Amino acid sequence: MINQTYALNDVTVLDLTDEKGVYTGKLLADMGANVIRIEPLSGNKTRLIGPFFMDRVNEESSLYNWYHNTSKKSITLDISTKEGIEILKKLCLKADILLESFDDNYLEGIGLSYDDISKQNSQLIWTAISGFGRTGPYANYKTTDLVALSLGGPVASCGYDHLPNNPPMCPDGWAGYYTGSHYAAISTLVALIYRDMTNRGQYIDVSIHEAISSSTEAALPMYIYQNAVPLRQTGRHHSINPTPPAIYRCMDGGMIHVFGTPPQDLNRWSKLLEWIQESQDASELFTPRYEEMVTMRNRDSDLMFTLFSYIGHLINSLDSEYVFNRAQSIGLPWGLVRSPEENVSDKHFWERGFFVDISSENDEKPSYFPGAPYIFNKTPWRIHSSAPILGQDNDEIYKLMLNFTTSDIEKLKANKII
Amino acid sequence: MIFNHNDKGEPLPLSGIRVVDLTWIVAGPQTTRIFADLGAEVIKVEYKESPDYIRGAPPFADNISGVNRSGFFNNLNRNKHSLSLNVMHPDGMDVLKNLIGVSDILIENFSSKVLDKWGLNYEEQIKIKPDIIYLSLSGFGHSGSKQDYTTWGPTAQALSGLTYMSGSPNEYPAGWGYSFLDHTAGYYGAIALLLALHHRNNSGEGQSVDISQVETGMALTGTYLLDYFVNGRKYKREGNPPGNRARFDIVAPHNIYRCYGEDRWISIVVSNDIEWSIFCKVINRIDLLENNLFSTNTLRITNQDVLDQEISESLRNWNADELMHLLQTKGVSAGLVQNARDRVDNDIQLKDRNYFQEIEHPEIGTYKFDGFPAKFNEIGHHMKRSSPIIGQDSKSIISGLLGYKQEDIDRMESEDVF
C-alpha cells in the first residue's frame, strides 16, 4: 500500500502532443503525475499559439501554452535524429505513459513503434491521439478544430435560424480538441486501472472525430429513431420543430438564457406566473390550457411561443443579475450569458477555490490561474508548477532517468540533440 | 458479481467494479455510460413512479411514447442494469444502503442538498462502506454561496462563458445547439472516478469528489481567463466571438462555405502558402494565386472579406463531400459540415472503424449506437445490452445480490417499494 498525497504520484508520462492532445497531459499533471514535455529544440508549436503575455510573440509568452502545460516539466530532444530517437526509446523504458499526437506512422517511420517498445517495457501505456484514428481512409487526413467540429456534428447544430443565409457556426475555444483530450484522458486512465490489476500496458488509438461524434446529445437518436435531422436555432437547442427563442436581453444589456421552463410542477409554475404578472397583464396564462403544459408536459408550439413572449417582456424590463437570482430563488434553472472573464467577479468561484494563486512560482507570470474542474477530498487537484520554460528540466531529467553525466549532456547540447 | 467480458471472453478493464448510479437526465448518465461500456456493473436506481426524465424525452421508437421507448434514453443508458426503488419508503432506503455496502462507487447528479436530506451524505456513506468513492455532479458544486442554484446543460454553458464564445461578431450568441456541457461534465465525472479508483488501488482508500458543471465549462475557457488576468483583456470586445474565422486572425482562409445542395457546407483551413497554392488549383481558381491581394498569409488575412467572397462564389456548385476528399488527399484541412444522417449513413471513416454498432432492445427492437471513441489493443469496451427496461433487475439484485428473503421481497412488492 502506497500512501499518496496526489492521485497520480506514482506515474511518469512522456508528453509529445501538439494542440490536439496537450490538454490530456495537463489533466494528468495537475493530479500529480510526473509529466515531461518532450519538445524539439525550437519548442513545441503550442508555444506559438496566442494570446501572448503583453502581446510578446515568443516561445515563453503564449498564454495558451501556459494554461495547457501547468505542472509539467520540459526537456528538449531532436527525435528526428538517430541519437535523439534512441534517447526517446530509453525514456520509454522508464515511463508509464506515452502521449503523442503525431501524423499517422510518423514515429514508426523514425524508428519507434509500439510493437518494439512494448517488448522491452510491457507496462507502457501508449496513447495515440489523432484527428480520425490511426486506421481507415481518413487516417492521413488533416484535422483542425474547425474541421473536427464540422465533421463530428456540432457545427451542423449551431447557428442562426433568424439569419437564414448565415453559415452554421463553429464555437470558439478549441472544444473539438478538448473533447478528444477528455476521451484520451479517460482511455489512458482506464488502461492504468487495467494495469494496476494485470501489470500489462497497451496501445490506445483515440479518434477526435469519434469523440466529437459521440457528444451531440439527441442528434444521433433523432436520426436513428425518427429519420429526422434537427434544425439549428439561434442560441438554443437544435430541434425538429421550431422552439421559442431562449436568450433574452435585459435592461442593463446583460443576457439571460431561459431553460427548464415551464417547470414541471405547479408550485414553481404559479411563482413564475406571479412574477410575469408583476410586469404585464398575463391573465391569458392563468388558464387550464397553460396549466396542462406543466401537468401533462404538453409542449404545444403556439402555447410555448406565447408563454415565452411574456417571459421575454419580463426579462427585457429588468436587470440581468436580478433576473438570474430571482429565477433561481423560485427554482427556475435560468442562467446569465456570461463572457468568460465575468465569472472572475462571481465570489462563488473564489469561495470554492476555482481560481488559484500561484504568484510565488514566477514573478512575471500571473498571480491567479483558472483552476480545478473537480474537488477531491483526499487527493487534491493542484497546479504543482507553472508551465515550464523550454528545456528547463534537461539536466534533472536526463541525469535522473537515464543516468547521463554533465559531460554527456554538454555533448548532446553541442551536437544539437537536446 | 457480474463480470463483463469482451467478444474474446477476456475481462473488460472495469470488470468487477460495481456502481450505484443515482444519476438522471444527461450529465451523470454520460459518466456511467462510459463506465458501463468499459465493463463496470452499473446499477441504475430509479423509481418506476418517477423514472429518469429522459425516459420521457423524444425521439421514441416508432413515434410511440413509453417509459422504455425513448431512443435518447436507450442511447445514454446502454449496458446498464435497472433497479426500481422507492427510497422514500424505509425499506427502499434499507435496500439502497445495503447496495452501497457491496459497491465501489456511488454517483449522483441531484441538486446539492438532496443526499443530505436522505441522510446519505458522504459521512453517512463511509459508515456503510468505508472505502466508497462518492461522486456528486451538480450545477454549482456542494460549496460556495450559489450551491443551491441549479443548472441544465444550456444554462451551465451560458454561465461558463461557452455560449457567449459561439457566434458571429455583433450578433446574438449562436451558442450550442445541444447540451455540450452535459457531455463534458460527464467526462470529468469519468476522469474523476478513474483517478479515485487508481488511488484506491494504491492506498485502499476511497474518497469524495465534488464537481460543478459550470466549473467544468470554465476550465475550457482557461486561456481566455488568463488573458484577462495577465493582460487585463476581456473576451467581450469588438470582433469577438470570431465566427468561423481563425481566432486572433492567424490564418486565412479559415471559414465555412456554402456548397451545392440543401444546407451543404464545407469547412476549410489553409494554413500556409503551399496549401494556398494547392487550394487554388483544386478549386480551379489559379487566378487567385496571381492576385496581389492574396499572395501572402498576412495579405490574405488583411483582405479576408474579399477573399471569403471570392471563395464563396467559387464553391457554390461544388459537391462538399467530393471537395473535402480532393483537398484532404492533397494535404489541405477540409471537412464537410456533417449532420446526423451524414455521420450514420455516409461517413466512410466511421464505417471503416465500425463505429456504429447495433444492439437489440427487448421492447423496441434493434437500433444503432455510437461506439466508444478509442480502440485498445489489449482490452476493449462492449456493446452487448440495450438500455434496461425499468426495474428489470430489481428482483435479482434484491434477492440475489443483497440476499433478501422471499417473504421480505413479497412484502416490499406489495408495498410498491420496487
Nearest-angstrom CA–CA distance, A358 and A71:
11
Whether B54 and B159 map to the same domain: the answer is: yes
The rounded percent of chain A whose pLDDT value lies above 90 is 92
Predicted pLDDT of residue B249 = 83
Predicted pLDDT of residue A363 = 60
The four Cα atoms B127, B129, B130, B134 give a dihedral, to 10 degrees, of -100
How many A-B residue pairs are in contact by the CB < 8 A criterion? 512
Whether B384 and B407 map to the same domain: the answer is: yes
Residue B338 · residue A152 · CB < 8 Å: yes
Q: Is the dihedral of CA A22, A24, A26, A29 positive or negative?
A: negative
Q: Do A202 and B163 touch (CB under 8 A)?
A: no
From B310, B332, B348, give the residue that closes a domain: B348
The residue in chain B having the minimum alpha-carbon distance to the alpha carbon of residue A198 is B13
**Residues A38-50: pLDDT tens digits?**
999 999 999 999 9
Whether B112 and B152 map to the same domain: the answer is: yes
Q: Do B374 and A230 touch (CB under 8 A)?
A: no
Whether B215 and B261 map to the same domain: the answer is: no
**Residues A360-380: pLDDT tens digits?**
655 665 579 998 999 999 999
CATH of A241-337, one of 2.30.29, 3.20.170, 1.10.3720, 3.30.1540: 3.30.1540
In single-letter form, the type of residue at position B352 comes to: D
Q: Is the bond into A262 cis (omega within 30 degrees of 0)?
A: yes
From B348, B368, B395, give the residue that closes a domain: B348
B274-303 residues touching A, CB cutoff 8 A: none
B180: closest CA among A30, A155, A349? A155
Is the reported ipTM for this assembly greater than 0.95?
yes
Please report whether residue B78 resides in a domain. yes
Whether B336 and B359 map to the same domain: the answer is: no
Selected residue of B54, B138, B229 to mutate for chain A interface (largest A Cβ count, 10 A): B229
Cα A384 to Cα A95, A96, A346, B53, B221, distances in angstroms = 20, 20, 25, 41, 20
* Interface membership of B212 toward A (CB under 8 Å): yes
Strands ordered across the beta sheet of A375-376: A375-376, B207-212, B133-138, B105-108, B18-21, B41-46, B81-84
Nearest-angstrom CA–CA distance, B77 and B54:
10
Q: How many domains is chain B built from?
A: 2
Cell of A3: 500512501
CATH number of the domain that B213 lies in? 3.40.50.10540
Q: Looking at beta carbons, which residues of chain B come within 8 Å of A189?
A: 191, 194-195, 198
B223-262 residues touching A, CB cutoff 8 A: 223-231, 233-236, 240-244, 247-248, 250, 254-258
3-state secondary structure of B163: coil
Residue A95 · residue A117 · CB < 8 Å: no
Whether B311 and B280 map to the same domain: the answer is: yes
Whether B289 and B368 map to the same domain: the answer is: no
Q: Do B225 and A152 touch (CB under 8 A)?
A: no
The residue in chain A having the minimum alpha-carbon distance to the alpha carbon of residue B179 is A217
Q: Which helix (H) or strand (E) holds A258?
A: none
Please report whether residue B227 resides in a domain. no
Report DSSP letters for B259-295, one per residue: -SSTT-EEEEE--SHHHHHHHHHHTT-HHHHT-GGGS
**Residues A5-16: pLDDT tens digits?**
999 999 999 999
Cell of A142: 488533416
Note the Cα B47 to chain centre separation in Å: 24
**Residues A337-367: pLDDT tens digits?**
999 999 999 999 999 999 998 876 556 655 7
Whether B275 and B139 map to the same domain: the answer is: no
**Bridge-based pairing state of the strands A97-100 and A12-15:** parallel
Q: Do A173 and B204 touch (CB under 8 A)?
A: no
- How many CA atoms within 13 Å lie on the side-chain side of B318? 23
B294: closest CA among B284, B279, B282, B313? B279
Nearest-angstrom CA–CA distance, A113 and A120:
11
Give how far B168 is from chain A: nearest CA, Å: 8
Q: Buried (b) or exposed (e) across B259-288, using 16+ Cβ within 10 A?
A: beeeebbbbbbbbeeebbebbbebbebeeb
CB atoms within 10 A of CB A415: 12
The four Cα atoms B363, B365, B368, B372 give a dihedral, to 10 degrees, of 40
From B348, B366, B384, give the residue that closes a domain: B348
Q: Is the bond into B241 cis (omega within 30 degrees of 0)?
A: yes
User: Over 60: is that where the pLDDT of A3 sits?
Assistant: no
Nearest-angstrom CA–CA distance, A148 and A208:
7
* Interface membership of B59 toward A (CB under 8 Å): yes
Nearest-angstrom CA–CA distance, B376 and A69:
26
A226-253 average pLDDT score: 96
Cell of A359: 504568484
Whether B100 and B215 map to the same domain: the answer is: yes
Predicted pLDDT of residue B9 = 74
Please report whether residue B206 resides in a domain. yes
Nearest-angstrom CA–CA distance, B39 and B16:
8
Report DSSP letters for B300-327, one per residue: HHHTHHHHHHHHHHHHTTS-HHHHHHHH
Q: Do B154 and A142 touch (CB under 8 A)?
A: no
Cell of B117: 436530506
Q: Where are the alpha helices (DSSP H) in B38-136?
A: 71-76, 90-101, 114-117, 122-128
Q: What is the pLDDT along chain B (418 residues), one digit of tens a residue?
A: 566 777 677 789 999 999 999 999 999 999 999 999 999 999 999 999 999 999 999 999 999 999 999 999 999 999 999 999 999 999 999 999 999 999 999 999 999 899 999 999 999 999 999 999 999 999 999 999 999 999 999 999 999 999 999 999 989 999 999 999 999 999 999 999 999 999 999 999 999 999 999 999 999 999 999 999 999 999 999 999 999 999 888 999 999 999 999 999 999 999 999 999 999 999 999 999 999 999 999 999 999 999 999 999 999 999 999 999 999 999 999 999 999 999 999 999 999 999 999 999 999 999 999 999 999 998 878 888 999 999 999 999 999 999 999 999 999 999 999 9
Predicted pLDDT of residue A361 = 54
- Specify which residues B370 forms β-bridges with: B356
Cell of B89: 419508503
Predicted pLDDT of residue A297 = 80
A335 band by pLDDT with thresholds 50, 70 and 90: very high
Please report whether residue B282 resides in a domain. yes
Whether B265 and B402 map to the same domain: the answer is: no
A311 band by pLDDT with thresholds 50, 70 and 90: very high
Predicted pLDDT of residue B334 = 98
CB atoms within 10 A of CB B33: 26
- Specify which residues A62 forms β-bridges with: A52
Q: Which helix (H) or strand (E) holds A322?
A: helix A320-329
Cell of A165: 443565409
3-state secondary structure of B74: helix
- Domain ranges for chain A: 12-214+351-414, 241-337
Q: Looking at beta carbons, which residues of chain A come within 8 Å of B24?
A: none
Note the Cα B358 to chain centre separation in Å: 20
* Interface membership of B160 toward A (CB under 8 Å): yes
The CATH fold assigned to A12-214+351-414 is Rossmann fold (3.40.50)
Q: Do A233 and B269 touch (CB under 8 A)?
A: no
Nearest-angstrom CA–CA distance, B329 and B324:
8
The gap between the terminal CA atoms of chain B, to the nearest Å, is 21
CATH number of the domain that B258 lies in? 3.30.1540.10
Residue found under cell 462555405:
B257
In single-letter form, the type of residue at position B407 comes to: E
Note the Cα B37 to chain centre separation in Å: 13
Q: Which helix (H) or strand (E) holds A368?
A: strand A368-370
Query: What backbone phi and psi angles, to 5 degrees, belong to A268?
Result: -70, -35
* Interface membership of B348 toward A (CB under 8 Å): yes
Cell of B133: 468513492
Mean pLDDT of the residues in chain A: 95
Nearest-angstrom CA–CA distance, A330 and A271:
7
Predicted pLDDT of residue B204 = 96
Q: Residue A281 contacts by C-beta under 8 Å, 6 or more apart in sequence? A: none
B171-200 residues touching A, CB cutoff 8 A: 171-180, 182-184, 187-188, 190-192, 194-199
Q: Do domains A12-214+351-414 and A241-337 have the same CATH topology?
A: no
Q: Which domain holds residue B337?
A: 247-348
